[in-house]
């Protein structure tokens, strides 16, 4: 090592830094800095030309001042001058200044680019590296424009020095990340891939980052890297620890390169070539074996490097998810780490196991560690580790262990850190719902949740428990009893009062028989909480009271008294006052019958995506591994409109997670291709009229054959929800257009076209508002009349401007002939008599097809009911079969239809037969239905 001249290369700078360090106060520091800035300014402006050394010194001082956190608005030109100095250190400081303090001044950029260009062509490797470092550090679009075509040449040229190649590779990577459109690998692809074979390990290390990034974007073009990466990895893994000389790190051969190779392989599926795959599996086994060997050094660096490779190998094994043997070994290895004394390893093991839990091969193996994980949740001293343990418990939860896990999470909640409580609450609520076998357990869990962590229970959670109680009559009595008991607590959380008010208002009658919870006792209990609650809760309670008047006429006088008192009827809050006045009036003038109708029990809520799940997804951001979907028929695609007056949900549109730093902002929307498979038609095309129906994708449309409500379409900009109702030959469809962005949509227009014979089916649709504000939703109503039977669906065309670009999109509206069904009940005898009457060959349509979904009886029944026909029991001699009957109502005629669906569970096939009084209807229904099961 040469004797380092620490800073005395620039004495003035050292003196200045000492001065700053000696400043006793912030004010003194600012004063000293201002003095220096004035000095430098005068030097730069002075008549005397500065020599290179002084210029370098002052530029360096400016840099120091900037790094202290002060703004610098001059000196750029002097720094740029330094770039063209032929003295290395001056050039170096110039580049450093530019890298840290880029200025978008275009004149300056031109000069900088010029200097870089000179250095790149200087053939002096040190200068070339400096220039490449500068491009990599700044990485602006202007630089990409100037150099993106030059750098690949430098990278692959035979006479380029290794160090320059390394810089060139990473420089290109940076430019590719900022301006992928400008970096065209084309002819260089194969030579870049072959850098994996380079003699120089440093070159491979640098090049592999570039190759990984390019492979992610263009996997096919870079496919050949897989076998090269495997053989390189294999050579490293099998090398002795001294073979790689300086690339061995604490007895671990090339840990960085190994990790990167394993990372690159994760861009691809398992190798198809048997030999390559065999070699790779061997590598992975060796890595797992090495983990069991005694360490070659006690240093933490040794074990970290070794385990870094091990974790990366496990990630690859999980990524492949195809080698049960390796998956289980990985799981066992992680299991050992769960009890390791190093906190870091415990943390990573918990994190990595979360992904293993979702593989079918290792789910069971992960579950065996439940006690250790619960213990971690209880005893880890570091909140970030506890958080990982909670995540893992959530991921490993299934029906068999749900009660235990939920209980543990609940008890942890009592002492959990504030930062993670809300997420924990959501997770408990989701698990309780997802794995509820009996709903009384579910109700208990949620009420406990409110009791323990009421402040963190968001609206979504308590809305959801109400939705579920309302939809399931077997739990209503239990729920009423339990909330009643919970409300007895002297201090109970406001959320508990809300749930209590709602549930007793609906189902208080179910427990009113017991004198301990007679109507008046219930009312007094609720009202004792009234004065401590916020306005929205009080409003909810007032609604519960009026419901009480209907449920229990004997409470009428007491409640009217309460409504009549000044604090209600003259309340300064408009909402409360209005409710009090209206409810009082309603209760005094309406007859019992009217009251019973108005205050009838809430109808069941439509099935929808659990609002809590949507909330957790939103919290975690898209693509969070730990959020698995709710299944079990409790979920359909999100429904837009909340039902009910009080349990109203915000439309559950999971917006892309708020990217706090804006660092990984997703690609600009206008540049995104129409990627998702569910997009119906070329969403971003600038083309004018609707695409021909040949290009219209049926997926979204077909989902609505058996249901009327849901999300028809969704992309990054727009969500379209549908709610529709039909009666005889008439229908009404509500379309909800939601702007998912924060930017206004301009010139928003929608048109409905009915191809051919459909011409007059859609009676009227008022034009929509031309402006849709960011985040807003607008509604449109279509009135529909079915004149005659039809097979083509109407097309909805939507046009709007988003940030100047015209968006044009055409969707099939899910109006199908079956919407106009009237169900017809009939006995077995009648059915077969009619069946025989419709025996002409053209009246029948039949299809035999493979089951696309599970053959679950309840699901099939639900779909057939959704179709609109009557599902007839005890008609078909074979109880496995389903038969239905219905009449399609059109303006011109009625069409009788009979349906028979014969499942064959063994073959996973169905035979579907339709007989209708009109042959075109048989055909169309058969087509529509064959794709539903």
Partner 1 sequence: MFIFMLLFSRQGKLRLQKWYVPLSDKEKKKITRELVQTVLARKPKMCSFLEWRDLKVVYKRYASLYFCCAIEDQDNELITLEIIHRYVELLDKYFGSVCELDIIFNFEKAYFILDEFLLGGEAQETSKKNVLKAIEQADLLQETKRSILKSII
* Residue 56 labelled as part of a binding site: no
Shortest Cβ distance from residue 311 to partner 1 (Å)?
6
CA-CA-CA-CA dihedral for 633, 639, 642, 643, to nearest 10: -60
* Residue 585 labelled as part of a binding site: no
5 in contact with partner 1 (CB under 8 A): yes
Burial class for 687, CB neighbours closer than 10 Å (0-12, 13-18, 19+): exposed
Burial class for 545, CB neighbours closer than 10 Å (0-12, 13-18, 19+): buried
Binding window for partner 1 (CB under 8 A); candidates: 137-145, 515-523, 543-551, 813-821: 137-145
SS3 call for 724: strand
- Give residues 702-731 in contact with partner 1 (rule: CB under 8 A): none
Other CB atoms closer than 10 Å to residue 770's CB: what's the count? 13
* Residue 43 labelled as part of a binding site: yes
Report whether 899 contacts 914 (CB < 8 A): yes
Binding window for partner 1 (CB under 8 A); candidates: 84-92, 744-752, 780-788, 901-909: 84-92
DSSP per-residue codes, 845-880: EEEEEE-SS---HHHHHHHHHHHTSEEESS-SSSTT
- Give residues 410-439 in contact with partner 1 (rule: CB under 8 A): none
> What is the distance between the alpha carbons of residues 176 and 184, in angstroms, rounded to a whole number?
9
Binding window for partner 1 (CB under 8 A); candidates: 229-237, 243-251, 729-737, 833-841: 243-251
3-state DSSP helix/strand/coil percent for the chain, to nearest 5? 55, 10, 35
* Residue 916 labelled as part of a binding site: no
Kind of pairing, strands 252-253 and 248-249? antiparallel
User: Among residues 308, 525, 696, 851, which is the contact residue for partner 1, using CB under 8 A?
Assistant: 308
* Residue 634 labelled as part of a binding site: no
SS3 call for 343: helix
Binding track, positions 180-219, relative to partner 1; x by CB under 8 A? ---------------------xx--xx--x----------
Binding window for partner 1 (CB under 8 A); candidates: 93-101, 268-276, 527-535, 763-771: 93-101
Shortest Cβ distance from residue 317 to partner 1 (Å)?
15
Please name the residue ranges forming H helices in 676-819: 699-702
* Count of residues engaged in binding partner 1, rule: CB under 8 A: 81
- Write out the two tokens for 570: 């003259």
- Give residues 97-126 in contact with partner 1 (rule: CB under 8 A): 100, 126
Kind of pairing, strands 762-765 and 777-785? antiparallel
**Kind and range of the H or E element at 750?**
strand 745-753
Binding window for partner 1 (CB under 8 A); candidates: 63-71, 393-401, 816-824, 880-888: 63-71
160 in contact with partner 1 (CB under 8 A): no
* Residue 59 labelled as part of a binding site: yes
Report whether 683 contacts 696 (CB < 8 A): no
304 in contact with partner 1 (CB under 8 A): yes
896 in contact with partner 1 (CB under 8 A): no
What is the phi-psi region of residue 352: left when phi exceeds 0, alpha when psi lies from -120 to 50, beta otherwise? alpha
249 in contact with partner 1 (CB under 8 A): yes
> What is the distance between the alpha carbons of residues 502 and 507, in angstroms, rounded to a whole number?
9
What is the phi-psi region of residue 186: left when phi exceeds 0, alpha when psi lies from -120 to 50, beta otherwise? left
SS3 call for 13: helix
Measured CA to CA in angstroms, residue 80 lies from 40, 70, 121, 148 at distances of: 16, 21, 18, 21
> What is the distance between the alpha carbons of residues 330 and 357, in angstroms, rounded to a whole number?
12
Shortest Cβ distance from residue 208 to partner 1 (Å)?
9
Shortest Cβ distance from residue 284 to partner 1 (Å)?
16
User: Among residues 189, 307, 359, 824, which is the contact residue for partner 1, using CB under 8 A?
Assistant: 307
Binding window for partner 1 (CB under 8 A); candidates: 329-337, 380-388, 604-612, 837-845: 380-388
239 in contact with partner 1 (CB under 8 A): no
Shortest Cβ distance from residue 254 to partner 1 (Å)?
8
φ, ψ (nearest 5 deg) of residue 638: -50, 140
φ, ψ (nearest 5 deg) of residue 42: -65, -35
CA-CA-CA-CA dihedral for 493, 495, 496, 499, to nearest 10: 170
Binding window for partner 1 (CB under 8 A); candidates: 67-75, 144-152, 430-438, 526-534: 67-75
Shortest Cβ distance from residue 67 to partner 1 (Å)?
7
- Give residues 325-344 in contact with partner 1 (rule: CB under 8 A): 343-344
Shortest Cβ distance from residue 63 to partner 1 (Å)?
7
Shortest Cβ distance from residue 340 to partner 1 (Å)?
12
Sign of CA dihedral 62, 65, 66, 67: positive
Instruction: Look at the chain and count its residues.
Output: 933
Shortest Cβ distance from residue 167 to partner 1 (Å)?
6
User: Among residues 129, 389, 640, 925, which is the contact residue for partner 1, using CB under 8 A?
Assistant: 129
Indicate the residue among 6 and 836 with the shorter CB distance to partner 1: 6
Binding window for partner 1 (CB under 8 A); candidates: 305-313, 397-405, 648-656, 890-898: 305-313
User: Among residues 53, 361, 530, 832, which is the contact residue for partner 1, using CB under 8 A?
Assistant: 53
> What is the distance between the alpha carbons of residues 262 and 23, in angstroms, rounded to a whole number?
51
Kind of pairing, strands 730-739 and 718-727? antiparallel
Binding window for partner 1 (CB under 8 A); candidates: 136-144, 766-774, 796-804, 924-932: 136-144
- Give residues 529-568 in contact with partner 1 (rule: CB under 8 A): none
* Residue 802 labelled as part of a binding site: no
What is the phi-psi region of residue 804: left when phi exceeds 0, alpha when psi lies from -120 to 50, beta otherwise? left
449 in contact with partner 1 (CB under 8 A): no
Binding track, positions 641-680, relative to partner 1; x by CB under 8 A? ----------------x-xxxxxx----------------
Give the distance between the most distant pair of CA atoms in the chain: 113
358-365, long-range: CB < 8 A, 24+ apart: 358/395, 358/625, 358/628, 359/318, 359/321, 359/327, 361/321, 361/324, 361/327, 361/328, 362/324, 362/327, 362/328, 362/330, 362/331, 363/396, 363/398, 365/327, 365/328, 365/331, 365/332
Other CB atoms closer than 10 Å to residue 27's CB: what's the count? 9
What is the DSSP code (8-state) at residue 607? Answer: P
359 in contact with partner 1 (CB under 8 A): no
Indicate the residue among 122 and 765 with the shorter CB distance to partner 1: 122
User: Among residues 98, 151, 330, 348, which is the contact residue for partner 1, using CB under 8 A?
Assistant: 348
178 in contact with partner 1 (CB under 8 A): yes
User: Among residues 109, 136, 237, 542, which is the contact residue for partner 1, using CB under 8 A?
Assistant: 136
Indicate the residue among 344 and 401 with the shorter CB distance to partner 1: 344
User: Among residues 137, 518, 741, 751, which is the contact residue for partner 1, using CB under 8 A?
Assistant: 137
- Give residues 769-808 in contact with partner 1 (rule: CB under 8 A): none
Shortest Cβ distance from residue 324 to partner 1 (Å)?
24
User: Among residues 96, 510, 683, 762, which is the contact residue for partner 1, using CB under 8 A?
Assistant: 96
What is the DSSP code (8-state) at residue 824? Answer: -
Binding window for partner 1 (CB under 8 A); candidates: 251-259, 455-463, 676-684, 697-705: 251-259
**Kind and range of the H or E element at 720?**
strand 718-727
619 in contact with partner 1 (CB under 8 A): no
Indicate the residue among 70 and 634 with the shorter CB distance to partner 1: 70
167 in contact with partner 1 (CB under 8 A): yes
241 in contact with partner 1 (CB under 8 A): no
> What is the distance between the alpha carbons of residues 264 and 222, in angstroms, rounded to a whole number?
11
347 in contact with partner 1 (CB under 8 A): yes
Integer-rounded Cα radius of gyration of the chain: 35
User: Among residues 24, 48, 381, 836, which is the contact residue for partner 1, using CB under 8 A?
Assistant: 381
SS3 call for 219: coil
* Residue 61 labelled as part of a binding site: yes
- Write out the two tokens for 665: 């902002």
* Residue 235 labelled as part of a binding site: no
Binding residue positions:
11-12, 43, 53, 57-61
């Amino acid at each position: 090592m040469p004797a380092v001249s620490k800073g005395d290369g620039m004495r003035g700078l050292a003196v200045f830094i000492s001065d700053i360090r000696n400043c006793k106060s912030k004010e003194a520091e600012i004063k000293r800095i201002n003095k220096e800035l004035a000095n430098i300014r005068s030097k730069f402006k002075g008549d005397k030309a500065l020599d290179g050394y002084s210029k370098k010194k002052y530029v360096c001082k400016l840099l120091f001042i900037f790094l202290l956190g002060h703004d610098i608005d001059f000196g750029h030109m002097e720094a740029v001058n330094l770039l063209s100095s032929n003295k290395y250190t001056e050039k170096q400081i110039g580049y450093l200044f530019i890298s840290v303090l880029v200025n978008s001044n275009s004149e300056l950029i031109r000069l900088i680019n010029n200097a870089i260009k000179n250095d790149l062509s200087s053939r002096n490797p040190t200068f070339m590296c400096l220039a490449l470092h500068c491009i990599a550090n700044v990485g602006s679009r202007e630089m990409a424009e100037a150099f993106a075509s030059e750098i690949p040449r430098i990278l692959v040229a035979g006479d380029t020095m290794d160090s320059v190649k390394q810089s060139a590779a990473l420089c290109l990577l940076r430019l590719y990340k900022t301006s992928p459109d400008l970096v065209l690998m084309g002819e260089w692809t194969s030579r870049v891939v072959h850098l994996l074979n380079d003699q120089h390990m440093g070159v491979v290390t640098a090049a592999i980052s570039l190759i990984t990034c390019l492979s992610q974007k263009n996997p096919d073009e870079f496919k050949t890297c897989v076998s090269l990466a495997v053989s390189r990895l294999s050579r490293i893994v099998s090398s002795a620890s001294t073979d790689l000389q300086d690339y061995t790190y604490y007895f671990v051969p090339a840990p960085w390169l190994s990790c990167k190779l394993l990372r690159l392989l994760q861009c691809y599926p398992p190798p198809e070539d048997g030999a390559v795959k065999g070699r790779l599996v061997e590598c992975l086994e060796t890595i797992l074996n090495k983990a069991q060997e005694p360490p070659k050094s006690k240093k933490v660096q040794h074990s970290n490097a070794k385990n870094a490779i091990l974790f990366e190998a496990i990630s690859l094994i999980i990524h492949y998810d195809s080698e049960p043997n390796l998956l289980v070994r990985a799981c066992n290895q992680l299991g050992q780490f769960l009890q390791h004394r190093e906190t870091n390893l415990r943390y990573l093991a918990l994190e990595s196991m979360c992904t293993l839990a979702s593989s079918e091969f290792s789910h069971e193996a992960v579950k065996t560690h439940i006690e250790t994980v619960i213990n971690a949740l209880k005893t880890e001293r570091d909140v970030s580790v506890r958080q990982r343990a909670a995540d893992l418990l959530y991921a490993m939860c299934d029906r068999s262990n749900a009660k235990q896990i939920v209980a543990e999470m609940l008890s942890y909640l009592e002492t959990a850190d504030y930062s993670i409580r809300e997420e924990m609450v959501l997770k408990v609520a989701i698990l309780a719902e997802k794995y509820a076998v009996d709903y009384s357990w579910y109700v208990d869990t949620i009420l406990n949740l409110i009791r323990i962590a009421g402040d963190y229970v968001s609206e979504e959670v308590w809305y959801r428990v109400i939705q579920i109680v309302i939809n399931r009559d077997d739990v209503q009595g239990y729920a009423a009893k339990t909330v009643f008991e919970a409300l007895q607590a002297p201090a109970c959380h406001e959320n508990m009062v809300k749930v209590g008010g709602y549930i007793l208002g609906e189902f208080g009658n179910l427990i009113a028989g017991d004198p301990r919870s007679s109507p008046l006792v219930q009312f007094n209990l609720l009202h004792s909480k009234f004065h401590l609650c916020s306005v929205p809760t009080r409003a909810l309670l007032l609604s519960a009271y009026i419901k009480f008047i209907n449920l229990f006429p004997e409470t009428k006088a007491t409640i009217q008294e309460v409504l009549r008192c000044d604090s209600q009827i003259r309340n300064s809050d408009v909402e409360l006052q209005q409710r009090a006045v209206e409810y009082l009036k309603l209760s005094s003038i309406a007859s019992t019958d009217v009251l019973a109708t108005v205050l009838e029990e809430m109808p069941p809520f439509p099935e929808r995506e659990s609002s809590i799940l949507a909330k957790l997804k939103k919290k975690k951001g898209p693509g969070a591994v730990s959020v698995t979907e709710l299944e079990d028929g409790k979920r359909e695609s999100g429904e837009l409109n909340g039902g009910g007056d009080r349990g109203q949900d915000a439309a559950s549109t999971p917006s892309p997670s708020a990217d706090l730093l804006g660092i990984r902002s997703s690609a600009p929307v206008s540049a995104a291709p129409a990627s998702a498979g569910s997009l119906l038609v070329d969403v971003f095309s600038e083309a004018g009229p609707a695409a021909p129906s040949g290009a219209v994708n049926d997926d979204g449309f077909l989902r609505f054959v058996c249901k009327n409500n849901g999300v028809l379409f969704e992309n990054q900009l727009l969500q379209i929800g549908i709610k529709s109702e039909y009666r005889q030959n008439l229908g009404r469809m509500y379309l909800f257009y939601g702007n998912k962005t924060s930017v206004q949509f301009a010139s928003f227009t929608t048109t409905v076209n009915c191809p051919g014979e459909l011409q007059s089916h859609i009676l009227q649709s008022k034009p929509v508002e031309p402006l849709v504000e960011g985040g807003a939703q607008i509604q449109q109503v279509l009135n529909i009349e079915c004149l005659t039977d039809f097979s083509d669906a109407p097309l909805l065309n939507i046009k709007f401007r988003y940030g100047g670009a015209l968006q044009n999109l055409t969707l099939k509206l899910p109006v199908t002939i079956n919407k106009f069904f009237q169900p017809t009940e009939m006995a077995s005898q009648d059915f077969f008599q009619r069946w025989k009457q419709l025996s002409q060959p053209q009246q029948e349509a039949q299809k035999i097809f493979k089951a696309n979904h599970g053959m679950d009886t309840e699901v099939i029944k639900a779909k057939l009911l959704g179709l609109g026909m009557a599902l007839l029991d005890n008609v078909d001699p074979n109880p496995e079969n389903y038969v239905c009957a219905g009449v399609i109502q059109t303006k011109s005629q009625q069409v009788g239809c009979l349906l028979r669906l014969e499942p064959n569970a063994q073959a996973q096939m169905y035979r579907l037969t339709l007989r209708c009084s009109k042959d075109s209807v048989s055909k169309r229904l058969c087509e529509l239905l064959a794709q539903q099961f």
